Every structure is written in structure tokens, then in C-alpha cells.
Amino acid sequence: MEAIFLSARVRRHPDRHVFLVLVVLMSVAAVACRPQPVVTPVDPEPEPPVPPPPVLCGLCGAVVPPETALYRRPLLVLLDNHSAARPQAGIPAACLVFETLAEGGITRLAPVFAHAAPERIGPVRSARPYFLDLALGLDAFIAHAGQSPEAAADIENLKVASLNAFGFDDHYWRESARKAPHNLYTSDERLRAAAVKARLTLTRDAAAVRWPVDVGAAPAAELPAAPGLRVVWPFSSTGHVTVFRWRAAAEGEEYGRYERSVNDKPHLDEESGEILGGRNVAVLFAKMWRIAGDPEGRLDANFTGAGRAIVASDGRLIEAKWRKSTRASALELVDQNGERLELPPGQTWILIVPEQTVVEVLAP
């Protein structure tokens, strides 16, 4: 329309060239003013969703598939370590295993289960007061078969999350293949069901609970070698010797570990037949003594305060310290500067031995 009107005017004007230019310019302008098609911006290719980082156990470094499993309250089970009780069941599934003396110079083992849920754990034995400190420090349930009179009072006074077999009989079973009292078994599922029945808190505040060590890198290669540790437990009339000897990683294994023997015999897992042991072994020296006049020869111990510790980790030796301010507070391993100890991922064993115990670092 604009172009027709302009060409009509061109015929009447003397200077045709000027008007010709005008016509061209106006035509261009008309084209430029025509509504342009609306261009909708194309969305960029959607980014593939970033998978959440793997959730790791803060104690053993294992990848924990369901995140909720990390928030399960830890479970500490007191296991018999009498020769008639070996081999025990359930220990390989533990993140951490404590070992310390009961009476007669024989130790008791206390595996701690955070995310794994073994279907058979045992044989379970009775509690002593100082074992309660270990459970309290982790805010853990403690599974046990009875207890000494002192431990009974402490369970009450310190509000220990006790899952006593004598009271939760349905949650334990006896196996006829072994003689009592070395034949009481249970499972993670049955114990957690007992905790529901007892109306105990089932979860833990992951941020508030401190494990004894943090997961970190393997110790520096410059540290002295620790081919193994030999612990001669005191208070034993017959001799009770625990040895951990380093075995380098076999083909297909991510890392090596310290294999355990008791009185020169490999200490086996009842389920798999494999030798028990872990990548990290810590020996903590603490005050332990015989209770004067106790007819059973029971011991007492002080696991609060601070003391020396030696740690064999990944074939290296670390001089460390332990500390625990109250019976209910966390047990921590620290380096010489008081910084929390970092040990590489894997199962950790913590042996708490009387101060006078002879602990030898094995020769290669």
C-alpha cells in the first residue's frame, strides 16, 4: 500500500531521482516493520541428574546403600571368647570390634554393628560395668546375657540401652551343638525388635555421635613398620595370647589386614571359616584391676581419662593416645598433637589392656 501511494506522488515531482531513492528507502522500511515470526528460545538439552555421592559409614568407610541405615543406633554385642565359644558368629559384619578382659584372664569381644545386620551373632555372654562405658560412648544398644551386680546397678543409674537376654528371651536362642553357657545366639533383627519392645530410641543423631577414629588415608610410608602385634593378657593362669599379623592384599582385595590368632591358633569366623582380623588394630592401655575379695575373681577398670595407645594400621605403626572424659562420653583416639586419629577404611579392632600388659611389635 505504501509503495503504490509513493509511486503516485513520484509522477508529480520534478526530481524523480530523489523520489526514487525515497521509494526504495520506504519499501525497505516497510519490510523491516512487518511483524517478524516469534522465535521461542529452545531449551538447552536437560542435564542428566547428578547421582548423589555415595553415603559412607563414618567408622569403617563402607558404602552404605540406604542412607537411613546410617542413622540406625549402633548395636554392641558382648561375645564370649572362652575356647569353648570359638569360633564366634557375626564379627566380620562389625565396623568396630572391642576386646578386653573378663575374669579368669579370658577376654570378651564386643563387635559394634552400625549398618550391617548379621542373622547370627554369638555366643553372647554377660556384662561387666566397664563394658557399659564402651556402649555408652557410642550411644549404642548393648546386648548381653545377664550381668554382674555392679553392672546391674549401672544399667539402671546410667540409663544404658540394655537388651538383656534374661528378659528378652524370645530374642535369643540356644544352639544344641554347643554346651551352655557358650551357646546363646541372636541376630541384628531380633535385637532391634527387642529395642522396639523396650521403647528405646531406635535412631541416633549421626552428627552428635563420635566414633573412636575418623576414616582417612592410609598411614604415611615413612612410619615404622608394624608387621604385627602380640598381646600377652595378664590375670590369666593358663595364658591368653592374642596375635595380629599383617597379611598384604591378595589378588582382588582392596587392602590387606591383620589376621588374628589366639594362643597360636587362627581365630576363625564360624559362618565363613575365614580368619578374623581387620586393617586397623589399636591397643589402649588403661587401669584394670582385680576386685579385692570378689569370689568370682572379677575385674574392674577405669576407661575414663586418657592413656597411651599403639596402633597398627595398614602395616605401619602409630604412637597414639586415647581419651574419654566421662563414662558416657565418646572414646577417642588422638595423635601426639591431640588431633583425632584418621585410619584408612576397613574394620578396626580396639583392644583395651591393663597398663602392665606386655605388647610386642612383631618382627617381619
Please tell me the total number of residues recorded for the chain in this structure. Answer: 364
Does residue 135 touch Zn ion according to CB under 5 A? no
The grid cell for 197 is 519392645
Does residue 57 touch Zn ion according to CB under 5 A? yes
Does residue 138 touch Zn ion according to CB under 5 A? no
In the region spanning residues 173 to 212, those forming contacts with Zn ion, defined by CB under 5 A, are none
Does residue 95 touch Zn ion according to CB under 5 A? yes
Measured CA to CA in angstroms, residue 18 lies from 7, 106, 117, 143 at distances of 12, 117, 95, 105
Residue closer to Zn ion, measured from CB, 240 or 257? 257
Does residue 331 touch Zn ion according to CB under 5 A? no
Does residue 96 touch Zn ion according to CB under 5 A? no
Does residue 353 touch Zn ion according to CB under 5 A? no
Cα(227)–Cα(225) distance, rounded to whole angstroms? 6
Query: Binders of Zn ion: how many residues, by CB under 5 A?
Result: 6
Measured CA to CA in angstroms, residue 153 lies from 27, 92, 138, 156 at distances of 103, 32, 20, 5
Residue closer to Zn ion, measured from CB, 55 or 359? 55
Cα(204)–Cα(71) distance, rounded to whole angstroms? 5
Residue closer to Zn ion, measured from CB, 156 or 253? 253
Residue closer to Zn ion, measured from CB, 110 or 114? 114
Cα(73)–Cα(55) distance, rounded to whole angstroms? 16
CB of 103 to Zn ion, least distance (A): 31
Residue closer to Zn ion, measured from CB, 55 or 328? 55
Does residue 59 touch Zn ion according to CB under 5 A? yes
**Cell 541416633 appears where?**
204
Could you tell me which stretch among 25-33, 54-62, 82-90, 121-129 binds Zn ion (CB under 5 A)? 54-62
CB of 70 to Zn ion, least distance (A): 9
Interface mask toward Zn ion for 105-124; x: CB under 5 A:
---------x----------
CB of 185 to Zn ion, least distance (A): 22
Cα(247)–Cα(228) distance, rounded to whole angstroms? 9
Does residue 60 touch Zn ion according to CB under 5 A? yes
CB of 63 to Zn ion, least distance (A): 10
Does residue 262 touch Zn ion according to CB under 5 A? no
Residue closer to Zn ion, measured from CB, 66 or 167? 66
Could you tell me which stretch among 12-20, 23-31, 71-79, 90-98 binds Zn ion (CB under 5 A)? 90-98
Does residue 102 touch Zn ion according to CB under 5 A? no
Does residue 140 touch Zn ion according to CB under 5 A? no
Q: Which residues bind Zn ion (CB under 5 A)?
A: 57, 59-60, 62, 95, 114
